[in-house]
């Protein structure tokens, strides 16, 4: 028998491990810049602390997933991608505010009020703000990751010098759509920065019980994508490495998967008491790795900021967060007649128009 002809493309070697080799591209932060980052992290936390209070008072209904403990990831990333597109999961309050959505708009959305970022019709998991290129929070685990490819593809097709930054949790890194999205992004070298916020738990399941590998950045190897794993408690370090990933993605070299290791202080959602944590784990993280306290200590030790100055910043932040609460509380609820608005595009529907689509049904509508 004649031996089968073997072609070079029949067998390919395994993809090489592509580590992110771009050095920190940004200048070190100034004192004023670090103060701004510190203030932003404090604001995110205080707004969410008030959101937790509002939830217990039934002012916020439905699901509510808090970002407390992870603030350095979103704030550091925002400092490196201020003009880029973002898309994220249902734990989206912090991301929206880090990207530039006002605390008033976020809190009003949580309260389900018409002044909210999504008109009070999205709620906690579906904050959206086109004005700052925040393309929304999404409720399906990992379901938004393929959408990041579409955003990046559109940005490149329009000739924009922008990436799409896509946030998701470690649990989403085991979901099918996640792998499909990475495969497509790598194939077409889309300008996407995928950020896996590894906060140690997928709902109540620790990482080592949900995945055979605990370095989530290794997911990139199967599709030949550039990757990096980093600690996420230092907001300055996050800023630099996200900037490096952005630079790589915009160079035409393809997308990047960053795994940023962080920790969430609250349960998966407000209904989760988080009793699955080992005793003492939360206190240990808060004592040694709290991103706000780390930055405060650095401001004092390296920048000469006084305790009194930090206390004043906290007071200012508390006032802004309380203003967001008051604004939401006194804002009107959405008009029920607008319930079906924005369901279809480009038509705008309204119950007040006494029609489903605001136009005469076609003769073949029921065909």
Listing DSSP states for 173-219 in one string gives GGSHHHHHHHHHHHHTT--EEEEEEE-SEETTEEGGGT-S-S-GGGG
Q: What is the per-residue pLDDT for 275?
A: 83
Residue pair 162/87 in contact (Cβ under 8 Å)? The answer is no
Two structure tokens written together for 214: 């605990």
Measured in degrees and rounded to the nearest 5, phi and psi for residue 298 equal -70, -40
Query: What does the CA dihedral 185, 203, 229, 69 come to, rounded to 10 degrees?
Result: 120
| Per-residue confidence (pLDDT) for residue 350, from 0 to 100 | 54
pLDDT, tens digit, 9 for 90 and up, residues 147-164: 999 999 999 999 999 999
> 3-class DSSP state for residue 353?
helix
Question: Per the structure block, which two tokens stand in for 312?
Answer: 């004043």
* Sign of the alpha-carbon torsion through 133, 268, 64, 53: negative
Question: Would you state the pLDDT for residue 16?
Answer: 75
- Domains plus CATH for the chain? 18-332 (3.40.50.970)
Per-10-residue mean pLDDT of the chain, 367 residues long, equals 53 75 95 97 96 92 90 97 96 95 97 95 93 94 94 96 96 88 96 93 77 84 94 96 98 96 81 80 83 96 96 97 97 92 69 48 42
pLDDT score for 56:
93
Asked whether the beta carbons of 128 and 116 are under 8 A apart, the reply is no
Query: 212: burial class by Cβ within 10 Å (0-12, 13-18, 19+)?
Result: exposed
Antiparallel, parallel or unpaired: β 192-198 and 164-169: parallel
Whether the model clears a pTM of 0.95, i.e. scores above it, the answer is no
Find tokens 């119950």 and name the residue: 351
With both helix axes pointing from N to C terminus, report the angle between 103-110 and 307-329 in degrees, rounded to the nearest 10.
50
pLDDT, tens digit, for every residue of 54-110? Answer: 999 999 998 888 999 999 999 999 999 999 999 999 899 999 999 999 999 999 999
Helices within 218-362 (DSSP H only): 235-250, 281-289, 291-303, 307-329
Residues 64 and 110 sit within 8 Å (Cβ to Cβ)? yes
Is residue 230 within a helix (H) or strand (E), and if so which, with residue range? strand 226-231
Whole-number Cα distances in Å, 329 to 1, 121, 156, 236, 335: 83, 16, 41, 35, 16
**Residue from 45, 86, 4, 19 nearest 235 by CA:** 45
Burial (CB count <10 Å: 0-12, 13-18, 19+), residue 83 = exposed
């Amino acid at each position: 028998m004649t031996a089968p002809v073997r072609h070079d493309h029949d067998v390919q070697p395994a993809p090489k491990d592509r580590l992110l080799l771009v050095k920190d591209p940004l200048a070190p932060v100034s004192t004023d810049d670090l103060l701004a980052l510190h203030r932003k992290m404090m604001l995110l936390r205080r707004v969410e602390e008030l959101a937790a209070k509002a939830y217990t008072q039934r002012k916020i209904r439905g699901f509510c997933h808090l970002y407390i403990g992870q603030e350095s990831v979103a704030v550091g990333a925002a400092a490196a991608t201020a003009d880029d597109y973002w898309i994220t999961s249902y734990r989206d309050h912090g991301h929206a505010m880090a990207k530039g959505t006002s605390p008033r708009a976020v809190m009003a959305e949580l309260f389900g009020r018409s002044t909210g970022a999504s008109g009070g019709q999205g709620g906690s998991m579906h904050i959206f703000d086109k004005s700052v290129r925040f393309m929304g929070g999404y409720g399906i685990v990992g379901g938004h990751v393929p959408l990041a490819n579409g955003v990046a593809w559109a940005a490149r097709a329009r000739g924009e010098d922008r990436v799409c930054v896509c946030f998701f949790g470690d649990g989403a890194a085991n979901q099918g759509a996640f792998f499909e999205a990475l495969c497509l992004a790598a194939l077409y070298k889309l300008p996407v920065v995928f950020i896996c916020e590894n906060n140690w738990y997928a709902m109540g399941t620790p990482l080592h019980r949900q995945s055979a590998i605990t370095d989530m950045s290794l997911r990139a190897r199967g599709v030949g994508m550039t990757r990096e794993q980093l600690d996420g408690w230092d907001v300055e370090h996050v800023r630099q490495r996200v900037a490096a990933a952005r630079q790589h993605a915009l160079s035409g070299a393809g997308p990047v998967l960053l795994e940023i290791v962080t920790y969430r202080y609250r349960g998966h959602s407000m209904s989760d008491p988080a009793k699955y944590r080992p005793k003492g784990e939360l206190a240990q993280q808060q004592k040694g790795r709290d991103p706000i306290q780390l930055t405060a200590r650095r401001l004092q030790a390296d920048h000469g900021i006084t305790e009194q100055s930090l206390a004043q910043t906290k007071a200012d932040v508390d006032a802004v967060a309380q203003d967001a609460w008051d604004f939401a509380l006194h804002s009107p609820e959405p008009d029920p007649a607008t319930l079906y608005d924005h369901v279809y595009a480009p038509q705008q529907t309204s119950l007040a128009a006494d029609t489903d689509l605001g136009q005469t049904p076609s003769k073949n509508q029921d065909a």
